Structure 1
Amino acid sequence: MYFLIISILCSVSVSVLLKLARRNGVDIAQAVAVNYPVAALCSWFFLHPDFSNWHKYASHWIIFLALGIGLPLGFIVLGRAIEQAGMVKTDAAQRLSLFLPIVAAFVFFGESLSTNKIIGIALALMALLTLLYRYNPAKSKGQGGFFQTAGYLFGVWLCYGTTDILFKQMAKSGTAFASTLQVAFILAAILITGYLCVRRTVWNAASIFAGLLLGCLNFANILFYIRAHQQFQQDPSLVFAGMNLGVITLATIIGAFVFKEKINGLNAAGIVLAIAAIWFLFYGSSLNSWLPGI
């Protein structure tokens, strides 16, 4: 259980770091660019990826390219969403991204559609709608307009759900997760660093330091999540549900009491619906090949 708790803490810490980034002069794109080399080094030392059959990866270059673009894009959108909508809504939207891989599991990967998954998918859609709702769509201090805020939340949901599907496809092809993760990290680092160089970005110390910390937290989240699955091999639904419920609950507490984020009644109902959706989607399920996309 300790592994799962540490993974939850690392995941929420990423959101806290991104929440504090802008006010401390951190450029999110720069921090994300530094994050991936750090995560790649950690992956190399702790997961020991095996590249002895490196030629197998060549045939999956399209998926790797999609991951190389999707991983940093997801982080950047996540940072913008936290800035505009707050931690509570953003973390809920991120966790509800599991809706997409669940749908893909029975549409593309041949998994059976059970009653609990139908209920979970319906609740997830309702949760997304209520999380996106705001009583006052007018632009307020520190927040964008309704459509901008909703767009970032939808972007988080779409980016993380798509990334999960890509990792699932790699797992389905028989490619080892550690090696896949390593290649994706390296490619993501190259692409976003190249993008920043083309834009002639002026790097700053705060962003580099934040990136070092972000990379460690990003990798630790994955490492301890994997360890939790290994510890509870016979009960993967416990890890899935525990991770998602834990993140939403802790993010709500920190967002409300530390950052004084305000949510209306429908948003609060959305969080409850999100928790219920996660429970139905994973209770009694055996999707033990899923791992979080970051």
Structure 2
Amino acid sequence: MLYLLLSIFCSASLIFIFKLYERYNVHTMQAIAVNYGVCVLVGLCFPGGADVLQPEIFSRTWAYYAMALGFIFIVTFYLIAVTAQKVGVTVASVAAKISLVIPVLFSLLVLQTTVKEYTWLNYTGMAAALVAIVLSSLRPRQQEAGEAGTRVPLVLAVVLPLVIFLNSGVADSLINYTNQHHLQPHEASQFTMLTFAASAVIGGAVILYQRTRHKTSLRRRSFVAGVVLGVPNFFSIFFLIQALRYFNNDGAFFYPINNIGIILAGAAGAAILFKERLNPLNKLGLALAVLALLLISYQEIIANLF
């Protein structure tokens, strides 16, 4: 249970850190690139982490999937940061964690690995997830963002969470596919490390392009912010894996519980730390997100709790 709480804490803290980037004028992309470099360095401290430095790792069938996942990770991470800063912490956490719907459908329709029979309640939960994203994103007026006082268009405030939802779902589905068809259990740490390394290389390339093309200066505070983000980012994955083992690798039961915890922790933190106010539609969207996750996996939850 401790690992579950630590996983929820680390995952929720990532979005809080993104929100603080705006307050302290941190260059988000620079900090995200440094963050993935820190993830790699922390991973090297663990047994087997140095295997990612071996050239033969690229001969593995899963290597290209790991690199593709690295690209999806850094793009999604950046979008989550922008959403947390411009739209809200609660919206960002809901969009990222309600994406469980996509890998569930992918497993059902493509991988065909599910052994349970889906009912109308499960499908209702999937539909409710999409409605939850829209409701949690709506604001009575367009929200101000940035020192210049520019406003986020209402359409963009809804589109950003939806893109995060799709990207996060595609990433989880790619992990499921790779795990089933290409990855051996003892290669999981190498796969994770290569994914982080790919994200770090892509982030470094973006920073180099911005520096040479747009003369963007490298900020010292961005490196510090990247370290602050990278440590909990790595351990969010580490504690997730440990917690999953505690629940006997029952992902259908564990992930909804974990994601509900992250969504609620994100909403509570947003209200306490950043004074975010939710209108009635936002509150309905938040409640609907929790209900959607419960409906999607209610069979496993009932089986494990009763």
Is TM-score (shorter-chain normalized) higher than 0.5? Answer: yes
Give the aligned partner of residue 171 of structure 2. Answer: 163
Per the normalisation by structure 1, the TM-score is 0.89
The size of the alignment, in residue pairs, is 285
Shift, 1:177, TM fit: 2.2
Whole-angstrom distance in 1 between the partners of 2:151 and 2:16: 17
Residues 174-207 of structure 1: per-residue CA shift (max 9 Å, x gap): 3132111111111111111012102213211111
Question: Aligned Cα RMSD in Å?
Answer: 2.3
- TM score, norm. by length of structure 2: 0.85
1:126-275 alignment, distance < 5 Å? 126-137=131-142, 141=149, 143-175=151-183, 176-200=187-211, 201-233=216-248, 235-275=250-290
Q: Deviations over 1:56-90 (max 9, x none)?
A: 52x44542332121111111101100011111111
Percent of residue pairs identical: 26
Q: 1: CA distance between counterparts of 2:229 and 2:144?
A: 30
Contact persistence 2:3–2:240 (CA under 8 A): yes
Inter-partner Cα distance in structure 2 for 1:273 and 1:239:
19
Structure 1 distance, partners of 2:151, 2:111, is 39
Shift of residue 214, structure 1, vs aligned partner: 0.9
In the alignment, the residues of structure 2 paired with residue 274 and residue 17 of structure 1 have an alpha-carbon distance, to the nearest angstrom, of 23
Aligned to 1:28: 28
- Hey, what's the Cα distance between the residues in 2 that align with 1:174 and 1:31? 32
Asked if the contact 1:4/1:242 (under 8 Å) is kept, the reply is no
Q: After superposition, what is the alpha-carbon deviation per residue over 1:1-56, rounded to whole angstroms, capped at 9, x for unaligned?
A: 01110111111111111001022021110011001111112223236255687355
* In structure 2, distance between residues paired with 1:199 and 1:67: 23
Amino acid at match of 2:189: A
User: Does the CA contact (< 8 Å) of 2:62 and 2:182 recur in 1?
Assistant: no
**CA distance in 2: counterparts of 1:83 and 1:55, whole angstroms:** 37
Unaligned runs of 5+ in 1: 287-294
CA–CA distance in structure 1, aligned partners of residues 34 and 144 of structure 2: 32
Q: CA deviation at 1:162?
A: 1.4
Unaligned runs of 5+ in 2: 302-306
Name the CA distance, whole Å, in 2 between partners of 1:125 and 1:144. 21
C-alpha separation in 2, matches of 1:224 and 1:129: 30
Contact 2:57 2:63 in 1 (8 A): no
In the other structure, the counterpart of 2:130 is: 125
SS of residue matched to 1:197: helix
Counterpart of 2:82 in structure 1 is 80
- Which position in structure 1 is the counterpart of 2:66? 64
Structure 2: how far apart are the matches of 1:78 and 1:210? Answer: 16
Are the equivalent residues in 1 in contact too, given 2:69–2:171 (CA < 8 A)? yes
Q: Which residue of 2 aligns with 1:39?
A: 39
Residue number among 47, 57, 60 corresponding to 1:54 in the alignment: 57
